Every structure is written in structure tokens, then in C-alpha cells.
Amino acid sequence: MEIKVSFKDISNEDKIYKNLYDGKWVESNSDKLIEIKSPINGELLGKVQSMSKEEVDLAIKNSKEAQKLWAEVPINRRAAILYRAAEILEQNANELAEMLVLEIAKDKRGAIAEVYRTIDYIKFTADSAKQLEGETIPGDSFPGTKKNKISFVTRVPLGVVLAISPFNYPVNLAASKIAPALAAGNAVFFKPPTQGSISGLYLAEIFNKAGLPDGVLNTVTGRGSEIGDYCVTHPDIDFINFTGSTEVGKRISNITTMKPVLLELGGKDAAIVLEDADLDEAADNIVAGGYSYSGQRCTAVKRILVMDSVADELVAKVKTKVAKLEVGDPREEGTVVGPLINGKACDFVMELIEDAKEKGAELVIGGNREGNIVYPTLFDKVDTNMRLAWEEPFGPVLPVIRVKSIDEAIGIANESSYGLQSSVFTKNIDAAFYIANKLEVGTVQVNNKPERGPDHFPFLGVKASGMGTQGIRYSIEAMSRPKAIVLNLGAVE
Ligand code: NAP
Ligand code: G3H
């Protein structure tokens, strides 16, 4: 049966978006509203409510109660609700993708891809949840233990999961927390990014319409800087699943005590290009990796470390491709680089550009700004004294750092405080493995740009890029724990 979800279902006539509480969309008592304007043209898309601490308390209490019943629901029934959510999401894919374009200025193709990837994510989560197995462990394999002990190990949920997602994937990085958490039997208290909340709330309604019991998914809106600390330190939150900046991730890690967290944070992914690399393939990947969605991806290529002997050729190829990128309104077919999420983000990118210029980097292309659009920018001969060598711009700007040896590339790559992913471009499998083994990152891509997917692969950052592992099965495991029941058999008289 087709179910149409409308933005009107979750907002009032003044386009004030409500919150999902106990299966219904309710208005907050707080009269503090946050305007959500499109980064494309400043059009007012709606307003979200700044929930009070008392409302957060009520909602989390409701989640806690609902979770007890949800934990008792058989996995095949939980999975059926997830399949239904995926189906409803597919029926409403275009409407949601259109909002994504407006709300976070994602290009049309990227917005549609985000929604369809989420549909697959939810389905695969349901498949995986059904395949989760327990184990029985005989005691006598451990020295000194008799044959009469057997441990029956199953997985049980953690309780209430606080899911906090970032602006750049308000649908996918919300669903990739919500679906595995639900599959594992948790209730979810979902905080969407403020810029991205309308899309996030719409996703919540899709889960709601799929038949989730009341209270199993509740939402909270309000600025993270105001309500975030209260939520993450709330005694009834049992797990925090956070994706966002390293700054906020570190803060969460500092202020929470004895609370398990999964943190997926910023990155400074390097593309290391060796002498024997297919330079066309490397350039294609670097441009797609560095500039898609205006560089606002945690896994964007954020620096190029290239062997001196092939640097001129690679830079020329990258320049040619960058020059062809379509810049402008993300509502137009083909646009790759559009306005950044806000003016502050643009100011920051421009600071890094100015720093590189002042310190003598060679501007190959770009470097200019028009409104909140930063033109795709490439710098050559960036050195390690420049901010661009180390800081994450989260915008369409790429530094080329020329290196003389593989070990110099590894050294510079590892000097970064970040450790999300890296790419190595080479035809020499021995060199690829030598480098991959030494890089301090969660994942090394050989002859491809850094990327999170496919979503059943493990995805993780080390150092300042995160803690814990995402990926469908990994996420379900992260949001559940083993429960052991040990059978101690007595002697038969
Ligand atoms: P952000 O500013 O850290 O915000 C992320 C989320 O945290 C938002 O929902 C935000 O709410 C909330 N928040 C802010 N302060 C908080 C606090 N004190 N306590 C709890 N929550 C708080 O990040 P962003 O600008 O949305 O996203 C860009 C960053 O995320 C980049 O650094 C990027 O690399 C990283 N990222 C990493 C991954 C990954 O998987 N490794 C994926 C995507 C993005 P408000 O919106 O209300 O402020
Ligand atoms: O922005 C961070 C995302 O986790 C990256 O996902 O590599 O699929 O764009 P992606």
C-alpha cells in the first residue's frame, strides 16, 4: 500500500515543525523558534522548536518506557517494520530529496543518491538483524574448567540511544544510526542537525508511519550548543551515537562519564599518488573525492601527496577537470559545487585560502568567492607551514604537497591529528600494501577515492577522527551487548 508522507503532517500552518513524542507530532511549550533558511537563496523553509530541558526529560522518560516493550518484540517483527520504513521512504523519495536540495544545498543527484542509499541501508539492516546469531561456549576449553559449564551468549539492547547527526547527510547519517539501533531493540532519541532538521524530522515520520510502537523513536530539536550537553549527559541515555565535528565529538567525550559512545568525526584524508599511478584515474578520483557536494564530506580528499616526478602532470590533469566542474545553483542539473552550508563556513574556507596565498602556495585555479559559493580551488606547492596542510576546510579546496619519497608521504600523512581514510594510487601492489600498513587511518583505499560505502563495510576513524566502528553489522553490534547465561550442570546420582 502506498503511503504519502507530507511535510504538513509534521508541521503546523505556520510551518513550525513539531517533534515526534510518543507516536504523535507535538508542539513544544517553548516559544523559542529557529528559522531554517535555504543556503541557496535564504528562502524561509520553516521553523523548528528549541525544546526545553523539561521537555527533553519527558521525551527521554517516554523513550525509556517504550524501549522495555520494544526489546521484547521478536527480531523478525522489528525487521518487518524496517522493511516497511524502507518501502515508505522509496514512495516518498522525490519529495524528501527536493527538501534536501533546499535545506542543505546538496546537488540534485547527490540528494537522490542519499535517499536511495538510505533505503538500501534500512533494508540491509533488517536483513542483517535477522542473521544475528548467538553462541554457546563450552567451559572446558579453558584450563582448569570442568565439562559441566556452558555459556549461552545472546545479544541484548543497550536501552535508549541518543542519535546525533550532522548537516551534510541529514537523512543517511540519521538512518544509519536509527535503523541499527532499532534493529538491536533500542529506543532512539534522535537529534537532527539544526540545518537539516526538516529532512531529519521527515525521516522520523517515515519510521513512525512504518508502524514503530509509540515512543520507540522520539525527536528533539534545538541548537546543539544549547541542548546538546544536557542530552548527552542525561542519566537515562544509555549510548551516544554521534557523527559531526571533532570539536563537538571531543566535547562529548570529555563531559560524559561511563557512557558508551560511538564518534565519527572530521578528517584530512590524503590521496597519495606514486610515480607509476594511472594519473587519469587518480585525477578523476581526486576531483570527484575533493569537490563533490562542495567538499562537505568527511571522506572528501583533503590533501594530495604526490611524488615530485609526476606532480606537474597530475596537477595539470586535476586542473583541467576542476575547470569543468559546474558551479552554481544545486537545483540545476549537473551542479557539483554550490553554496556552502552558511557564511561562517565560507569565511573559514577563505581564511585557509588566504593563509596559503600569503605563505607562497601556487594558486592553480579558483580561490574566489561569490556569496556563499567558494569556487573550486586547487593549490600547488603547499608546504607543511600552511594551515591547508593540516586543517579540514569542509569546502572545495585542495592542497597539493609534493614529496620525494614514499616514506616522506607516509610521514606527512601520519603527522595529521586526523585518521579517517587515505587513498593510494599505484599499480604496484607491494607499494600499496607497504603504505597501507603504515597509515594511521581507519581505512585505506587502493586506487579509489576515500568513501564510507558500501555501507556494510566497517567505517571508522582513528585519532581525532573518531572512536568505534560503523557499518551495518558493526553498528548493530555497537548498539547491543553480549548477555551470557551460564549453565552449571550438576552430577547425576
Ligand atoms: P557539528 O557542528 O559537530 O554538528 C553535528 C551535530 O552535533 C549537529 O546535530 C549539532 O547540532 C550537534 N551538536 C552541536 N553541539 C553539540 C553539543 N554540545 N552536544 C551534542 N550535540 C551537539 O558538525 P557539522 O558541522 O554538522 O558536520 C560537519 C563535521 O562533521 C565535519 O567536521 C565532518 O568531517 C564531520 N563529519 C564526519 C563524518 C564521519 O562519519 N566521520 C560524517 C559526516 C560529517 P546543531 O546542528 O544544532 O548545531
Ligand atoms: O561526510 C561523511 C560521510 O560519512 C561520508 O560518506 O563517503 O559516502 O560521502 P561518503
Read off the pLDDT band of 469 (50, 70, 90): very high
Give me the pLDDT at residue 301, please.
98
Q: Is 461 a pocket residue for ligand 1 (Cβ < 6 Å)? A: yes
pLDDT of residue 362: 98
Question: Same domain for 247 and 348?
Answer: no
What is the whole-number distance in angstroms between the Cα of residue 394 and the centre of ligand 1? 12
Q: Is 65 a catalytic residue?
A: no
Q: How far is the CA of 194 from the centre of ligand 1 (A)?
A: 10
What pLDDT, in 10s, does the model give residues 190-212? 999 999 999 999 999 999 999 99
Show the CA angle centred on residue 242, arms to residues 331 and 154, nearest 5°. Answer: 125
Does residue 228 line the site of ligand 1, with CB under 6 A? yes
Q: Which of 36, 225, 299 to mutate to test the pocket of ligand 1 (most atoms within 8 A of CB)?
A: 225
Question: Quick one: average pLDDT of 367-377?
Answer: 98
The stretch 368-386 carries a mean pLDDT of 98
Would the CB of 452 count as within 6 Å of ligand 2?
Answer: yes
Would you state the cell numbers that stand for residue 9, as one nine-digit string? 503532517
Determine the longest span between alpha carbons in the chain, in angstroms.
88
Q: How many domains does the chain have?
A: 2
Residues 275 and 261 in one domain: no
| Domain contains 1 | no
pLDDT of 457 reads 98
Tens of pLDDT, residues 17-34: 999 999 999 999 888 999
Q: What is the DSSP letter of 295?
A: G
- Residues ≥6 apart with Cβ < 8 Å to 129: 75, 78, 79, 82, 180, 183, 184, 476
Our answer on whether the CB atom of 421 is closer than 6 Å to any ligand 1 atom is no
- Give the Å distance between the CA of 289 and the centre of ligand 2: 10
289 and 226 in a common domain: no
Nearest CA, atom 23, ligand 1 = 244
Q: Cβ of 59: how many Cβ atoms within 10 Å?
A: 23
Which residues contact residue 69 at a Cβ distance below 8 angstroms, ignoring those fewer than 6 apart?
213
For the stretch 264-323, pLDDT in tens is 999 999 999 999 999 999 999 999 999 999 999 999 999 999 999 999 999 999 999 999
Q: Compute, in angstroms, the gap from residue 459 CA to the centroid of ligand 2.
A: 10
275 as an active site residue: the answer is: no
DSSP letter for 52, please: -
d(CA 272, CA 231) in angstroms, rounded, equals 40
User: What kind and span of H or E run contains 397?
Assistant: strand 397-403
At 133, the pLDDT band (50, 70, 90 cuts) reads confident
User: Does ligand 2 have an atom closer than 6 angstroms to the CB of 297?
Assistant: yes
Distance between CA atoms of residues 240 and 479, nearest Å: 9
Q: Mean pLDDT over residues 3-10, rounded?
A: 96
| Sheet with 135-138, side-by-side order of all strands | 135-138, 149-157, 480-488
With cut-offs at 50, 70 and 90, classify the pLDDT of residue 132: confident
**Quick check: CB of 11 below 6 Å from ligand 2?**
no
Q: Is 412 within 8 Å of 361 (Cβ atoms)?
A: no
User: 95 and 179 share a domain?
Assistant: yes
**Is this structure's pTM higher than 0.95?**
yes
Assign 491 a pLDDT band (cuts: 50, 70, 90): confident
Interatomic CA distance for residues 276 and 283, integer angstroms: 14
Residues 87, 183 share a domain: yes
Cα three-residue angle 219-101-456, rounded to 5 degrees? 65
Strands 362-365 vs 377-380: parallel, antiparallel or unpaired: antiparallel
Structural domain boundaries, residue 170: 7-265+468-481
- Mean pLDDT score of the chain, rounded to an integer? 97
In tens, the pLDDT along 51-82 reads 999 999 999 999 999 999 999 999 999 999 99
Give me ligand 2 centre to Cα 317, in Å.
25
- CATH code of 52's domain: 3.40.605.10
Q: What is the CATH number of the domain that holds 448?
A: 3.40.309.10
- Beta-strand runs (E) in 297-393: 303-307, 362-365, 369-370, 373-374, 377-380
